[in-house]
Amino acid sequence: MIDTSVGVVLIIIGLLALVVLARSLKTGTLAVFFTQRPDIVRAEQPLRFWTQFSGVGVVALLALFVAALLLT
């Protein structure tokens, strides 16, 4: 029973992370949440942008993978 609720929450987290990735590719900026730093602009800081982008992508894939394991 707990596996289902945790799996659903992980799916929501994974999908939200994918939305952030799609938005950041479209706009060229990656929002930095819960910090005092400004948003990361791809044209100004390409290495930092792609590093953070990859980190969000890993979180999304990991959340969706674990959710798939829990829900099967």
Cα 30 to Cα 48: distance, rounded to the nearest angstrom: 10
Looking at residue 36, its pLDDT comes to 64
State CA 32 to chain mean position distance: 11
Q: Which residues pair with 40 in a beta bridge?
A: 30
How is the chain split into domains, by residue range? Answer: 2-71
Which tens digit of pLDDT belongs to each residue from 31-57? 766 566 777 888 888 898 898 889 989
Q: Report pLDDT for 32.
A: 66
**For residue 7, pLDDT beyond 70:** yes
| Sheet strands (E) in 1-72 | 29-30, 40-41
Least confident of 14-18, 23-27, 30-34, 39-43: 30-34
